[in-house]
Structure 1
């Protein structure tokens, strides 16, 4: 590997002069800078970016902290962030923390030590944040909140609206016995989606039934197990809204195990619009999650903060991105219901 000392020997100048020339220091004449840079290029010199970052206290890089970037939805966030950073001349380094608060704190301090220009935190647990403001790094949160006193910038999917829209959609299909399989109780998105479900029932004068609300873990098995409990109860629901597509797939399997047809005997609604929703049989009706747009907005927000030197402009900023109902094959009007109506024609469709 070619070093500054090798270049200095080749041009007959000091290593300090070569270093300044490569850094475009105007104390070195333009002719000398151009000569040194040309020879460095011919010799195949590549700068030590890490060392430069520490000297300049800047890296032109952003740290992205996620639960697991291999997850489909998290991957879409990362793509959105990456596009925003590319537009503004930044690169991205990703750390997966797998819902572990110790891993998260370690990642935050690692990015601070690496002189990152900012951090985006996209993991979704409800833990309060305190470490990031202490590092003085500009930061943006995705789908979570901070209890820190400092102003924060947050980009979230509108989970309340999603929970409301999914439930209201089923109500417009004349279902009144609507069960809800939620995610873990300590997740921000779970709380907001449950609130949306509850509000939709209230606005349509449908009693809230504690027995119809279950808490799963986002995976198919929990959707299957909890749906069996619902279908085998004394007063089973005619529709089940699951808080993500994976649990909804489990609900469909449980319906089949109980001899129920989807959607003729029971309607099933998901949430996320993962790829699997299009290939499930029957194809899954769901709520879209615009995660690419969320990542894009968060990346642009952080770049603006870095450019202006203003962190949240002295006040908290929160942007909400709303998804849509994606109609497919797992929902239908309740058979034999009085005043039966079809769903709104203005809904999005994705076959």
Structure 2
């Protein structure tokens, strides 16, 4: 079956250009449009029946573009999207886009199908950020920063990190370390701001020797925890930039003969499913991806039905989840 991608490859143009040319939409010259239509005829291209039907009427189909392959993070966003879709009888089409080219291809398909709107979902703030082309349907961005006034659903990482630090402070901890993600990540920068502010507000110093930047992975967190917890003076509590890194922190603590939370309290971030399977179960701050996905689809649906969105940016906050890995400071 010949698709618009096959035609685009033969003609050396973008799939979106082919889509516009085949529909006679503005944006392509008459000469190029004629060449593309001729190539499509020669290659035996036939428009999808569903797309043809959708051109004739208003649709309740909404596209969802995810910025990476299916995993816990994208699955949580998708779960929230699907929850609202079931309530409103909305049909969904998911598209995985790990590159700008993948995203453009997805948008071309959605445009050809005449979908009603699109949700752009990212698990990393700042990924694929910047200006987006003018879209022929309503769009909402999840976890993305862009300079346009397109509606966005965000979370407050700074506030979430403050929740984690304030929880440890409430338990009497004053020697608190932080193993964070990479410095280029806006998540990391905002969480660092949150930890520093909570400590400053409590009159507790932020100790640089107890701080580490990693790649969000368990191995790097393990190595950083060995250094921080193996020093002559160690913190009584550690904040982990995400829950998976806490696995590495647990391994380092065991290797050093330290008990959690008696010798060192550990708190994570995200509320990943791994938290309940760690021993002790990991205290954490939730990253409300499910709620963000649900809010995004609601916003798109409202736009499709002509309802005004009051704010371009909607903040969905996480919450502190206390389990077994944090306890009172026992240091005298």
Q: With structure 1 as the length reference, what TM-score do the two structures score?
A: 0.74
Q: Is the 8 A contact 2:85 2:92 kept in 1?
A: yes
Aligned to 1:157: 155
CA distance in structure 2 between the partners assigned to 1:62 and 1:241 by the alignment: 39
How many Å apart are 1:208 and its aligned residue? 2.3
CA distance in structure 1 between the partners assigned to 2:248 and 2:101 by the alignment: 32
Going from structure 1 to structure 2, the CA distance change for 1:77 and 1:174 (only over 3 Å counts) comes to same
Match of 1:329 among 303, 324, 331: 324
Q: Is the 8 A contact 2:65 2:120 kept in 1?
A: yes
Q: What is the SS of the residue equivalent to 2:247?
A: helix
CA distance in structure 2 between the partners assigned to 1:248 and 1:155 by the alignment: 27
Going from structure 1 to structure 2, the CA distance change for 1:235 and 1:199 (only over 3 Å counts) comes to same
Aligned to 1:320: 315
Stretches of structure 1 that go unaligned for 5 or more consecutive residues are 1-46, 338-351
1:128-172 superposed Cα distances (whole Å, 9 cap, x missing partner): 2322x4224311111221122xx2212222222110000111111
Q: Is the 8 A contact 1:119 1:139 kept in 2?
A: yes
Larger Rg: 1
Going from structure 1 to structure 2, the CA distance change for 1:306 and 1:186 (only over 3 Å counts) comes to farther
Q: What is the SS of the residue equivalent to 1:282?
A: coil
Going from structure 1 to structure 2, the CA distance change for 1:222 and 1:110 (only over 3 Å counts) comes to farther
Q: Is the 8 A contact 1:155 1:297 kept in 2?
A: yes
- The correspondence of residues 201-220 of structure 1 with structure 2, limited to 5 A, is 201-220=199-218
Q: Is the 8 A contact 2:236 2:331 kept in 1?
A: no
Q: Is the 8 A contact 2:52 2:113 kept in 1?
A: no
Q: With structure 2 as the length reference, what TM-score do the two structures score?
A: 0.78
Q: Is the 8 A contact 2:218 2:245 kept in 1?
A: yes
Aligned to 2:45: none
How many Å apart are 1:103 and its aligned residue? 3.2
Stretches of structure 2 that go unaligned for 5 or more consecutive residues are 1-47
> Aligned residues, how many?
283
How many Å apart are 1:57 and its aligned residue? 7.1
CA distance in structure 2 between the partners assigned to 1:321 and 1:206 by the alignment: 29
